[in-house]
Structure formats: structure tokens, C-alpha cells
């Protein structure tokens, strides 16, 4: 059975085509460029199922469901749950947790039964703590570098820059644009490193994912898991939840 899995975030739509337990194809689209036409052009055909985790709004979900209907295949839409196996959501209203956070925890829990700190570095950065028992202990949500830059640009006159442009450099900037982008990156990464070093000292195993997670993983010499959300999506779909 071939399954097209979609992780739709506020910045990017990540997809992979799975069959016989293997990834056959994969790709990525900027969410701002997604519409009915781009889905027809960019997504693979000849699939048997679609599974989707979406935090980018109802319009994109509508396009995905319509696309699946045109392909004449069922479309599974994932939602956050009160529990999955021994993983227990701490929210009193589980549906209010972003489904990407939940699925990243599902994927991480499948990989390890140790105490976990699951970090998803997307438009927003989420950190979630899981006890050995599988109980979610709570978490943090902070703005990612793009949101930080957008906030500064929107509140300050005479700063012209593209907050979507990736920045890896954290040296002191030689102009206003560099000073903003490098400063935001340095503040964010050093702040996160401090939190995560504390988590390590407290016995948590790190599971880093998301667009900026690779840089953080390399800096801290930690493993990086590019597809935790999709791994969780696969598990939840297989159990029909």
C-alpha cells in the first residue's frame, strides 16, 4: 500500500511517499505557494491513501481533501489525542494542542522509552517533556527566528528585509539587516541551548526536529530526526485514530 504523508506547517509543506515500509519519494513546498494548482503539479500520483497533519489553516486542508478526492483515494486527517499507547497528553482539552507537537511526541516515543525532551524548530519552536512512564509533563512554545524578525520589522520603521530568508550566521552584523537576522539567530539558539543543557542535566534525551533543528543539533552535537512528525503520523494512521 502506498501512502502520501503530508506535514503542513506555517512555513513549509513536507511530504513523503511511503510503500512497503520505505520512503519512495519526498519533497517540500513553501506553504505560501500552496494552492489547488501547485498540489496537482507537485504531489505524486498513483497513490492509494493520503494522511495529513495540518496546522496551516482550513483552506489548505480543503485543497488537500479535494485533491485526494480527485485522486479517488481516502484522506486521513490527524488530530491531537488524549493518549496514544502509553503516551498521555497533559492537556485537559487535547484537541487544543497543535497536531504537529502531538505527532512529534508520538514519533519520539516510538524511538525511545527514556525521558524525552522533544524539540520541533518550526515557525514556532516547541519543547515538550515526556516522562519515562509516557506522561507528557508539559512544554514551552516560543517564536522561531522568522516570527521574531517579523515582529521586530512590524514594530520598527526603516527596516527592510526578508524574514523568510534562511540565516545561519551569528557573527555581529555589518548592516541593519545583518544585525537583526544574526542577532535574532544568536539570541534564539543560545537561549535554546541553555534550556536544553538543563534538560540533559536532568536526564532527558533530546529529540530534535524541524527546519532549524538541524543547526541546533549540529551545534550541540546531538542527533537530528528530520521526520518525527511524519513518523508519528504514520503510527497514528496505522492505528486508525
Enclosing H/E stretch for 3: strand 2-8
Q: Which of 7, 86, 100, 120 is catalytic?
A: 100
Task: Give the C-alpha separation, 92 to 95, whole Å.
Answer: 9
Is residue 100 flagged as an active site residue? yes
Task: Give the C-alpha separation, 77 to 75, whole Å.
Answer: 6
What's the residue count for the chain? Answer: 241
Task: Give the C-alpha separation, 162 to 190, whole Å.
Answer: 23
Residue 20 backbone class (left: φ over 0; alpha: ψ -120 to 50; beta: rest): left
Supply 146's cell numbers.
Answer: 522568522
Per DSSP, the three-state class of 46 is coil
C-alpha 57: how far from chain center: 15
Give catalytic residue positions: 100
Amino acid at each position: 500500500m502506498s501512502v502520501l504523508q503530508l506535514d503542513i506547517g506555517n512555513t513549509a509543506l513536507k511530504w513523503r511517499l511511503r510503500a512497503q515500509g520505505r520512503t519512495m519519494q519526498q519533497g517540500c513546498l513553501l506553504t505560501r505557494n500552496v494552492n489547488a494548482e501547485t498540489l496537482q503539479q507537485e504531489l505524486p500520483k498513483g497513490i492509494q491513501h493520503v494522511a495529513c497533519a495540518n496546522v496551516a489553516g482550513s483552506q489548505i486542508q480543503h485543497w488537500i481533501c479535494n485533491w485526494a478526492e480527485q485522486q479517488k483515494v481516502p484522506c486521513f486527517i490527524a488530530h491531537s489525542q488524549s493518549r496514544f499507547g502509553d503516551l498521555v497528553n497533559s492537556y485537559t482539552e487535547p484537541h487544543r494542542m497543535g497536531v504537529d507537537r502531538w505527532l512529534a511526541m508520538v514519533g519520539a516515543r516510538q524511538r525511545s522509552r527514556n525521558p524525552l525532551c522533544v524539540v520541533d524548530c518550526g515557525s514556532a519552536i516547541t519543547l515538550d517533556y515526556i516522562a519515562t512512564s509516557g506522561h507528557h509533563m508539559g512544554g514551552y512554545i516560543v517564536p522561531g527566528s522568522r516570527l521574531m524578525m517579523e515582529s521586530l520589522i512590524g514594530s520598527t520603521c526603516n527596516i527592510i528585509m526578508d524574514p523568510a530568508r534562511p540565516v545561519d550566521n551569528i557573527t555581529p552584523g555589518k548592516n541593519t539587516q545583518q544585525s537583526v537576522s544574526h542577532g535574532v539567530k544568536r539570541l534564539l539558539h543560545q537561549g535554546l541551548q541553555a534550556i536544553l543543557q538543563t534538560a540533559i542535566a536532568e536526564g532527558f534525551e533530546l529529540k530534535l526536529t524541524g527546519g532549524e533543528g538541524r543547526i541546533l543539533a549540529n551545534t550541540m552535537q546531538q542527533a537530528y530526526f528530520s521526520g518525527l512528525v511524519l513518523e508519528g503520523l504514520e503510527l497514528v494512521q496505522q492505528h486508525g485514530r
